Amino acid sequence: MYKVLTIAGSDSGGGAGIQADLKTFQELDVFGMSAITAVTAQNTLGVQGVYPMSVEAVTQQIQSIGTDMGADAIKTGMLFSAEIIRAVAAGIEQFGWKHVVVDPVMIAKGGASLLQQEAVEALKEELLPLATVVTPNIPEAEVLTKMKIETMADRQRAAKRLHSMGVTYVVIKGGHDVLDEATDLLYDGTSFFYYTSPKIATKNTHGTGCTFAAAIAAQLAKGQSVQEAVQVAKAFIQAAITDELQIGAGHGPTNHWAYQKSLKQVLR
């Protein structure tokens, strides 16, 4: 049984954060574990409250996993503060964890801040050098690289800049594209790879980034290459957005059952 640890925030609405990660792990047949960095009060209309955990609580959760259960891959999401980022980086180094997927969560779709501004430098300096893969969306890539990203050429330049910060693989996600296609760009330090799907017109995309990064971590834990893992993650999120749920009055969650359901239909 492959084991994956998510270090992220809790989303009471169940669409993003720890909840999205654990659902994704379950659907991709890996054993999910969690270290919670913050509790958020959230629904499809937005974020009503953010309650960070103490550094001690985050550290202890990581110690509890690392000293007993171990992990074949790690996924980080909302980390909130520089102190929590340092504690997470220390844990990853202490246990020598490989296959580290860093989703540099900064701002929720509704605009609420999930990472303090002063923590961006800590994320770049302490966590990115430990990351196998970093998965920013376009606004996050702009903050990390301090450059404006409009064209695919800009995206390629940003990917190179992120790679130079010590990450092995960079994925700049295309959900914020204003085109009718969503193209995720993968850079391995030498070549670019493109993962393109039709852009689905829906407001129910809450938690897409978390789900996508969690799927990459699950597949890495099972021994897939980063290219293969991104391909599965793209198919997983495409199914989850296409086979819509209608929950809540705002930006609803994606459907974590959809990928398994689509595989069963193919087998039938």
Ligand X SMILES: Nc1ncnc2c1ncn2[C@@H]1O[C@H](COP(=O)(O)OP(=O)(O)O)[C@@H](O)[C@H]1O
Ligand Y SMILES: Cc1ncc(COP(=O)(O)OP(=O)(O)O)c(N)n1
Side-chain-side CA neighbours of 180 within 13 Å: the count stands at 0
Q: For residues 1-23, b (16+ Cβ closer than 10 Å) or e, as one string?
A: ebbbbbbbbbbebbbbbbbbbbb
Binding site for ligand Y (CB under 6 A): 8-9, 11, 16-17, 40, 77-78, 105, 108-109, 114, 206-210
C-alpha to C-alpha distance for 216 and 156, rounded to whole angstroms: 21
Among 95, 176, 245, 260, binds ligand X (CB under 6 A): 176
Q: Which of 205, 211, 234, 254 is catalytic?
A: 205
Can residue 157 be called a binding residue for ligand X (CB under 6 A)?
no
**Which among ligand X, ligand Y, none contacts residue 91 (Cβ within 5 to 8 A by kind)?**
none
Among 130, 212, 229, 253, binds ligand X (CB under 6 A): 212
* DSSP for residue 196: E
For ligand X, the binding residues in 105-144 under the rule CB under 6 A are 137
**Which among ligand X, ligand Y, none contacts residue 241 (Cβ within 5 to 8 A by kind)?**
ligand X
Burial category of 96 from C-beta neighbours within 10 Å (exposed 0-12, middle 13-18, buried 19 and up): exposed
To the query of whether residue 209 is one of the catalytic residues in this protein, the response is yes
Can residue 97 be called a binding residue for ligand X (CB under 6 A)?
no
Can residue 255 be called a binding residue for ligand X (CB under 6 A)?
no
**Which among ligand Y, ligand X, none contacts residue 173 (Cβ within 5 to 8 A by kind)?**
ligand X
To the query of whether residue 135 is one of the catalytic residues in this protein, the response is no
Q: Which of 9, 15, 207, 252 is catalytic?
A: 207
Q: Is the dihedral of CA 128, 129, 135, 139 positive or negative?
A: positive
Can residue 245 be called a binding residue for ligand X (CB under 6 A)?
no
Whose tokens are 């391909």? That residue is 231
**Which among ligand X, ligand Y, none contacts residue 82 (Cβ within 5 to 8 A by kind)?**
none
For residues 196, 202, 203, 204, the Cα torsion angle rounded to the nearest 10 degrees is: -80
Can residue 175 be called a binding residue for ligand X (CB under 6 A)?
yes
229: Cα separation from own chain's centroid: 13
Token reading at 59? 């550290």
* Of residues 97 and 212, the one with the C-beta less far from ligand X: 212
**Which among ligand X, ligand Y, none contacts residue 77 (Cβ within 5 to 8 A by kind)?**
ligand Y
Strand duo 169-172 + 181-187: pairing: antiparallel
* Of residues 103 and 126, the one with the C-beta less far from ligand X: 103
Can residue 184 be called a binding residue for ligand X (CB under 6 A)?
yes
- Residue 99's SS3 state is coil
- Residue 53's SS3 state is coil
Q: In sequence order, what are the residues at sequence separation of 6 or more whose Cβ sits closer than 8 angstroms to the Cβ of residue 67? A: none
To the query of whether residue 211 is one of the catalytic residues in this protein, the response is no
**Which among ligand X, ligand Y, none contacts residue 7 (Cβ within 5 to 8 A by kind)?**
none
To the query of whether residue 207 is one of the catalytic residues in this protein, the response is yes
- The catalytic residue positions are 173, 205, 207-210
> What is the contact surface with ligand X in residues (CB under 6 A)?
137, 173-176, 182, 184, 197, 199-200, 205, 208-209, 212, 234, 237-238, 241
